[in-house]
Every structure is written in structure tokens, then in C-alpha cells.
């Protein structure tokens, strides 16, 4: 045993059979023989052949990297189906505290392993090994108690984590992945440099084990947990503290469902103290941090006060869930609490109808629970569900509404999904990426499911996010079938930081109009380029992310006429190229040029058509789509062409009429030209007669 390891071993409480879980895998540096490198922004090197599996966070994979100064670093490659926290990356990047890994870069790289672009976050290498090896991805288990000495934990892990969280919270960032598998030893077994791991590459709380989450968050699908709050980090911190000092794993043998149920029935604090007696010095801090009611949970200032030596007692009060005097039986199980019954209802929606129609549930609420608020909400829920009675999902809908009435603090349970409306967009993104049927998710927008959830929460005093109003907007978007609306628009509307999920551009990580046009340029240069430039996803993506670019031309790109579609495309691309000051898009210009015949043919004048064709052939290789837009966007040219054509038509008609008349005269009128001949004859006759008379007079007068 090395001196360092013995140092750490000395800080453990006596636990036979308990394994020290600090990884040794990282001792062997994988930097040797790194192989080919991928560059982020030209100077940060990432080595795809050197994974760091012990640093993986959920579906985010860690790889060896090297900073621009040549220092060791870790790159987290984001998975395709999740939305990383790009929105807070810029705030995180400015922080410099040793208990948080320093973010040295983020962006898109062309990832050779998957042959597609990936979003990546690169941190300075200060991680070391994770404190616990419980798989963060596993929602059944994610914890292993460490059994370390209290003082040691408080002076190292706890101190550093609090410092890191305080810094994050000051900057307006909640971490979301505070757990022992994502707290690292900092490279020293003494844990004095312990630090928090990555919190940006995944949606907040995506890989957070159930144990570290509050009940409300733990019940949600990992992608659609409620918006993260500082209080959630502090709850997770309390759980980390308990696990770090607990000699035994207090969740041993429990499934995630059992953990949640235990927390609901007994409380989180009761769970951590259920097996071992924890030191009295931290009982209050654990009680404060692990309070299941966010209103009574300790805040960072409470924690700082406690660290400063002041006595801070756990807050009292909070919401209490009523308990009935007599149980209600549902599927041969007896329930005393409405919230636990709500959890059961979602599992068997078909049996819910029977329970409600028999009147047993109403009687139980009325006579046993004797809580008027529950009764009112229940009646409203049943009424609301009956509005969509004709739908095929009536039972599921009824179960969802009744569950909301019984447990307004819980997420929405509907058709196998459990979600908070705030991050419902992440579920849509995941379903779209996986090519799943999104009808079940789209069904959420109908029938007032979310508005009823908000109403129930409002009535019971739980916070309601503003995001809820977006669902009504989504319902309206679904009513319109044209591109730019529908479920695709809902995806980007509810998950504004999602990349563009178009099948045409699967290889590319597109976050903006600029990314889009550059990706299209790359795609245009490939042999397997798509048949058309945009699809419903690209249009919806632009509508949400760059409305000013696409909105004026939306009627064109949705038109059935091909010439209008290509006209709209050219104008949109040109606008982006001009605004983003992109010098050249040669492949895209050539691709566009192949489709402009439809547009050229909208000029009547064949001379102009030839002129435009030759102009396009001349400039297409230069990649200037702004020039293309100028060629086709000149209203005066169009007007002149139209005017010229009208005049030509009139001329053609006049000629035709003349021809018909002349032809008819020549073929049928035998006297044609006779009148002219007679006129000439009259003149000739007049001239001769005049001449005869004049000569006669002249002769007579001369000789008389």
C-alpha cells in the first residue's frame, strides 16, 4: 500500500467488507499513444482514441484532451439525443475556483468515431478519480456510502463542494449533478483538492441518481425534470454528506421506486438515518439540507452560517400531506395517502376508470380523507378528463388528471411519461432523435393536461413555471400543418437550445442559421447530398432560432410551385450569408444553381433567360448567393418582363387578326384590290381628260 493510500485508509471508519472505491484505473495515464487528434477551435486537441471511461457522466463520454498551452485536459463529448447546457457555458467559463474544473473551451468538433459533429466541453485536467463508482446513469442505484471520518469529510469533500456550489450559485448556475460519482479526488488521496465534475454536457439532473434527487425530480423522466434550483443542489449535497460518512449503504437492497416511496412516506432525512446513527454534529445540517419541502430546506447562507460555527436549527413547518383514517383499496393494495395512490394510478390507468366510476375514490376523499381541497380538485379532474371521453386514451387521460388532483406536487404522469412541463422539449428531442413515434407526446398538448396541472399547483401553493403557457402556443402550432409549424416547431419552441434534428443534416451539429448554411455547403459537396435543401425540421428550427430570416419567405417555401420554393430558399440563404458575412458558399451555390431553371423560366423573355443563365454559370463557383438573390429579386426587371410580354401578346394578336383577314380576303374575295384599281383608273382618267381639254383649249386659243 502506498503512503497516499494508507493516508486515505486512515480516514475511514472501521467498516468490514466495505471497499474503498477510488479508482485506480486513472493511475495509468492513457496519454501515451494517443493517436489522431481532433481540434476544437483550432488549438485544443482532443484524442478520440483515448477515452476516459471513469470520467464519463451518463451518456457524455470523456476523452483525453490537451489545452492550447499543452496542459492535460478532459473533453466531454455530448450525446446526440440530449440538449447540453450551452446556455450557461459562458457564465461557467469565467469562473476560477479549484473546486470546479476550469472550462477551457466548448464547441462543435467533427468526431471521427461517430463520423459526425458533436458538441464538446473541454475542462482542465484536475479531476482525479470519482469518489464513488456507483453508475451515475443507473437510476436504480447510484450511491455507495464511503464511511469516512466526519472531520475529514467536512474539511475536504464537503468544504470544497460547498465552495464550488456557492461560486456556481453566485453566477446563477445550478449544478444538477452533485453526487459522489461526480465528485473527484482532485488527483490526491487526501481529497484536499476534491472537486465537482462536469455539469454542462447533459441537461440538468439527467444523470443524477434517484437517491440524490428530491421526490418531485426523482419521479420525472431524466430528460424532463423540473427546472433546476439551487435548493436541489443543496439537497444533493446533503445526500453526499450522508453517504460520505455513513458506514453502511442505507439504500442497500432498495429499488429506486422503494427509495422514492420511502422518501415520500418517511422523508429523506429519515432514510439517511435509518440504518446507522450519524454524528450529532451534522444531524441539524442533514435535517436542513434533506428537508423534502423546499420552503424549509437550508439555503447556501444557512449553510455558510453553520460552517461559520453558528447554530442554525432546521426550519419547521412546510406542507403536510393529509392521511386518511381508513384506507382505499386499489388493485388489492391499501392506500392511506393520496400522493402514494397517485403513483399507483399511473401504473394501471385502465383500472382507474373502474375506481372512479364505482364512486369509491370520491367516497374515500369525502369520508376518510375529509379534505375539501382534494375533493374539489378531484371533481375538476374528472370533469376535465370527460371532455375528451371520445378519445382513444380516455383511461390514461383520466388517470393523469386524477393523479394531478391527488398529488399536485408531482410531475405529470401520462401514457408512460413522467415530466415537468418546463423541460418537456427534451423528451421531444429524444423521441425525434430515436425516431420514436411522437404522437403520444403530441397528445400532451391536447385536452388541457398541462393547464390543469398548473391550476392544481397554483391552488396548492406550489410554484408554477411560466413555461406552461407555451403549451397552449404549441397546441395552436399543431393545428397548422404546413412546414414551420406542427410537432417539429414544438420541439424547437420547447427546447430552444436543441440542435437541428433534420435527417438531411444528421452529420452536423447545427445550433444557428450560420451553422445551418455552412453545413448545407458541406453537404452540397458530398456525393450523397439530399434532394432538396430544407425539410420540416430545418424550417421549424429557423422559425424558432432566426425568425426574421425565414418569416418573410415562409409562404414561398411552403408553396406548391417549385419556382416559389427555390426563390424563398435563395432569399433565405442570401440573407444569412450577408448577415453572417460568409465570404463564399461554393458548393451550396452550385447546388442552388442546379435548381434555378424553374426560377429562370419565370421570365417570359427568352433573351433575359439566356442572360441570367450565363450570369449564373459565370458566378456560381464563387459561392455568392447574395448575387443570386439580386438576380431574381429585382422587381423592376419582373415588371418590365411582364409589360414586355403583354405588349408582345397584343402585337401577336393584332398580327393574327390581320393575317386572318388578309387570308380570308385573298382566298374568298375575287374583287380584292378592285376598288384600289378603280381609284387609280379614276385618277388616270381624270388626268387624261384634263390633258385632252387643256391641249384642245391651247390649240384653239393659239390659232384663233
Residues in the chain: 704
Q: Please tell me whether residue 643 binds another protein under the rule CB under 8 A.
A: no
Name the minimum Å distance from CB 661 to another protein: 10
* Measured distance CA(131)–CA(84) in Å, rounded: 24
Q: Which of 142, 675, 698, 702 binds another protein (CB under 8 A)?
A: 675
Name the minimum Å distance from CB 693 to another protein: 5
Name the minimum Å distance from CB 566 to another protein: 15
Closest CA to 505 of 493, 490, 517, 489: 517
Q: Please tell me whether residue 688 binds another protein under the rule CB under 8 A.
A: yes
Helix (H, G, I), strand (E, B) or coil at 74: strand
The answer to whether 589 and 628 have CB atoms below 8 angstroms apart is yes
Task: State how far Cα 138 lies from the chain centre.
Answer: 23
Binding piece for another protein, criterion CB under 8 A, among 311-319, 332-340, 505-513, 656-664:
656-664
Name the minimum Å distance from CB 415 to another protein: 43
In angstroms, how far is the first alpha carbon of the chain from the final one? 167
Q: Please tell me whether residue 656 binds another protein under the rule CB under 8 A.
A: yes
Name the minimum Å distance from CB 613 to another protein: 15
* Measured distance CA(321)–CA(293) in Å, rounded: 11
CA distances from 195 to 29, 121, 288 (A): 20, 17, 23
Name the minimum Å distance from CB 621 to another protein: 30
Name the minimum Å distance from CB 407 to another protein: 58
* Measured distance CA(310)–CA(532) in Å, rounded: 67
Binding piece for another protein, criterion CB under 8 A, among 1-9, 234-242, 413-421, 672-680:
672-680
* Measured distance CA(147)–CA(380) in Å, rounded: 50
* Measured distance CA(563)–CA(567) in Å, rounded: 6
CA distances from 453 to 438, 463, 572 (A): 21, 11, 40
Q: Please tell me whether residue 275 binds another protein under the rule CB under 8 A.
A: no
Q: For another protein, which is the closer residue by CB, 53 or 673? A: 673
Say how many C-beta atoms besides its own lie within 10 A of residue 646's C-beta. Answer: 11
Residues 6+ apart with CB under 8 A from 274: 250, 262, 266
* Measured distance CA(143)–CA(160) in Å, rounded: 20
Q: Please tell me whether residue 560 binds another protein under the rule CB under 8 A.
A: no
* Measured distance CA(527)–CA(4) in Å, rounded: 57
Say how many C-beta atoms besides its own lie within 10 A of residue 463's C-beta. Answer: 10
Residues 6+ apart with CB under 8 A from 340: 261, 264, 265
Q: Please tell me whether residue 644 binds another protein under the rule CB under 8 A.
A: yes
Name the minimum Å distance from CB 503 to another protein: 29
Name the minimum Å distance from CB 673 to another protein: 3
Q: Which of 676, 698, 702, 703 binds another protein (CB under 8 A)?
A: 676
Q: Which of 81, 602, 613, 637 binds another protein (CB under 8 A)?
A: 602
Residues 6+ apart with CB under 8 A from 607: none
* Measured distance CA(569)–CA(590) in Å, rounded: 14
Q: For another protein, which is the closer residue by CB, 305 or 641? A: 641
Q: Which of 604, 611, 613, 627 binds another protein (CB under 8 A)?
A: 604
Residues 6+ apart with CB under 8 A from 397: 385, 388, 391, 414, 447, 449
Q: Please tell me whether residue 672 binds another protein under the rule CB under 8 A.
A: yes
Closest CA to 78 of 107, 46, 100, 52: 107
Q: Please tell me whether residue 693 binds another protein under the rule CB under 8 A.
A: yes
Q: Which of 102, 653, 668, 698 binds another protein (CB under 8 A)?
A: 653
Name the minimum Å distance from CB 593 to another protein: 21
Name the minimum Å distance from CB 662 to another protein: 5
Q: Which of 112, 416, 658, 698 binds another protein (CB under 8 A)?
A: 658
Name the minimum Å distance from CB 599 to another protein: 12
Q: Please tell me whether residue 633 binds another protein under the rule CB under 8 A.
A: no
Lay out the site mask for another protein across 451-480 (x = CB under 8 A, - = otherwise): ------------------------------
Q: Please tell me whether residue 698 binds another protein under the rule CB under 8 A.
A: no
- Across 150-308, the runs of DSSP E, i.e. the strands, are 183-184, 195-196
Q: Please tell me whether residue 652 binds another protein under the rule CB under 8 A.
A: yes
* Measured distance CA(231)–CA(272) in Å, rounded: 18
Name the minimum Å distance from CB 671 to another protein: 8
Q: Please tell me whether residue 697 binds another protein under the rule CB under 8 A.
A: yes
Q: Please tell me whether residue 639 binds another protein under the rule CB under 8 A.
A: no
Binding piece for another protein, criterion CB under 8 A, among 24-32, 438-446, 512-520, 601-609:
601-609
Q: Please tell me whether residue 677 binds another protein under the rule CB under 8 A.
A: yes
Q: Is 295 exposed, middle or buried (0-12, 13-18, 19+ CB in 10 A)?
A: exposed
Q: Which of 3, 606, 635, 668 binds another protein (CB under 8 A)?
A: 606
The answer to whether 394 and 412 have CB atoms below 8 angstroms apart is no
Q: For another protein, which is the closer residue by CB, 69 or 684? A: 684
Footprint of another protein on this chain (CB under 8 A)?
601-602, 604-607, 642, 644-646, 648-649, 651-653, 655-656, 658-659, 662-663, 665-666, 671-682, 684-686, 688-690, 692-693, 696-697, 700
Amino acid at each position: 500500500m502506498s503512503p497516499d493510500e494508507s493516508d486515505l485508509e486512515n480516514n475511514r471508519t472501521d467498516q468490514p467488507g466495505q471497499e474503498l472505491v477510488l479508482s485506480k484505473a486513472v493511475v495509468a495515464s492513457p496519454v501515451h499513444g494517443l493517436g489522431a487528434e481532433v481540434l476544437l477551435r483550432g488549438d485544443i486537441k482532443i484524442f478520440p482514441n483515448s477515452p476516459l471511461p471513469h470520467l464519463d457522466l451518463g451518456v457524455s463520454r470523456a476523452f483525453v484532451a490537451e489545452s492550447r498551452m499543452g496542459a492535460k485536459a478532459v473533453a466531454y463529448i455530448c450525446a446526440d439525443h440530449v440538449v447540453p447546457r450551452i446556455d450557461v457555458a459562458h457564465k461557467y467559463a469565467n469562473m476560477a475556483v479549484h473546486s470546479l474544473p476550469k472550462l477551457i473551451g466548448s464547441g462543435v468538433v467533427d468526431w471521427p468515431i461517430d463520423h459526425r459533429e458533436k458538441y464538446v466541453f473541454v475542462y482542465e485536467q484536475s479531476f482525479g478519480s470519482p469518489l464513488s463508482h456507483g453508475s451515475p446513469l443507473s437510476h436504480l442505484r447510484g450511491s455507495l456510502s464511503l464511511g469516512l471520518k466526519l472531520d475529514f469529510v467536512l474539511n475536504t469533500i464537503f468544504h470544497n463542494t460547498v465552495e464550488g456550489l456557492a461560486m456556481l450559485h453566485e453566477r446563477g448556475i445550478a449544478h444538477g449533478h452533485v453526487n459522489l460519482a461526480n465528485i473527484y479526488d482532485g488527483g490526491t488521496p487526501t481529497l484536499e483538492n476534491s472537486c465537482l465534475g462536469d455539469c454542462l454536457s447533459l441537461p440538468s439532473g439527467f444523470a443524477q441518481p434517484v437517491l440524490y434527487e428530491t421526490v418531485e425530480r426523482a419521479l420525472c423522466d431524466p430528460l424532463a425534470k423540473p427546472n433546476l434550483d439551487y435548493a436541489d443542489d443543496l439537497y444533493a449535497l446533503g445526500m453526499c454528506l450522508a453517504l460520505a460518512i455513513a458506514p453502511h449503504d442505507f439504500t442497500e437492497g432498495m429499488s429506486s421506486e422503494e427509495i422514492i416511496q420511502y422518501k415520500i412516506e418517511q422523508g429523506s432525512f429519515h432514510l439517511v438515518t435509518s440504518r446507522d446513527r450519524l454524528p450529532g454534529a451534522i444531524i441539524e445540517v442533514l435535517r436542513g439540507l434533506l428537508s423534502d419541502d423546499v420552503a424549509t430546506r437550508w439555503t447556501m447562507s444557512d449553510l455558510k452560517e453553520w460552517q461559520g460555527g453558528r447554530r442554525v436549527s432546521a426550519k419547521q413547518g412546510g406542507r403536510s400531506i393529509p392521511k386518511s383514517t381508513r384506507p382505499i383499496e386499489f388493485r388489492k393494495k391499501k392506500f392511506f395517502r393520496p400522493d402514494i395512490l397517485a403513483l399507483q394510478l399511473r401504473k394501471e390507468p385502465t383500472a382507474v376508470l373502474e375506481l372512479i366510476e364505482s364512486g369509491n375514490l370520491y367516497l374515500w376523499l369525502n369520508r376518510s380523507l375529509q379534505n375539501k381541497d382534494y375533493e374539489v380538485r378531484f371533481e375538476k379532474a374528472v370533469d376535465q378528463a370527460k371532455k375528451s371521453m371520445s378519445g382513444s386514451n380516455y383511461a390514461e387521460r383520466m388517470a393523469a388528471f386524477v393523479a394531478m388532483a391527488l398529488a399536485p406536487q408531482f410531475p405529470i404522469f401520462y401514457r408512460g411519461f413522467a415530466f415537468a412541463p418546463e423541460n418537456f422539449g427534451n423528451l421531444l428531442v429524444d423521441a425525434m432523435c430515436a425516431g420514436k413515434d411522437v404522437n403520444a407526446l403530441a397528445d400532451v398538448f391536447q385536452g388541457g393536461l398541462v393547464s390543469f396541472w398548473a391550476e392544481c399547483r397554483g391552488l396548492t401553493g406550489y410554484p408554477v413555471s411560466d413555461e406552461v403557457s407555451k403549451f397552449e402556443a404549441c397546441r395552436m402550432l399543431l393545428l397548422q400543418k404546413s412546414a414551420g409549424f406542427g410537432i417539429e416547431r414544438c420541439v424547437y419552441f420547447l427546447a430552444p437550445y436543441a440542435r437541428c434534428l433534420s435527417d438531411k443534416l444528421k452529420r452536423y451539429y447545427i445550433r444557428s442559421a450560420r451553422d445551418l448554411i455552412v453545413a448545407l455547403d458541406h453537404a452540397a459537396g458530398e456525393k450523397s447530398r439530399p434532394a432538396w435543401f430544407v425539410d420540416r425540421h430545418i424550417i421549424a428550427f429557423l422559425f424558432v432560432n432566426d425568425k426574421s430570416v425565414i418569416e418573410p419567405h415562409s409562404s414561398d417555401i411552403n408553396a406548391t410551385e417549385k419556382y416559389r420554393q427555390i426563390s424563398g430558399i435563395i432569399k433565405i440563404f442570401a440573407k444569412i450569408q450577408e448577415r453572417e458575412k460568409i465570404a463564399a458558399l461554393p458548393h451550396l451555390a452550385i447546388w442552388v444553381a442546379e435548381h434555378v431553371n424553374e426560377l429562370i423560366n419565370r421570365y417570359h423573355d427568352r433573351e433575359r433567360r439566356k442572360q441570367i443563365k450565363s450570369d449564373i454559370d459565370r458566378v456560381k463557383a464563387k459561392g455568392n448567393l447574395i448575387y443570386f438573390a439580386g438576380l431574381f429579386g429585382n422587381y423592376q426587371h419582373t415588371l418590365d418582363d411582364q409589360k414586355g410580354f403583354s405588349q408582345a401578346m397584343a402585337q401577336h394578336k393584332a398580327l393574327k387578326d390581320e393575317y386572318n383577314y388578309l387570308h380570308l380576303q385573298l382566298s374568298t374575295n375575287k374583287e380584292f384590290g378592285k376598288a384600289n384599281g378603280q381609284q387609280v383608273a379614276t385618277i388616270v382618267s381624270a388626268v387624261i381628260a384634263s390633258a385632252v381639254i387643256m391641249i384642245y383649249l391651247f390649240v384653239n386659243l393659239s390659232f384663233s
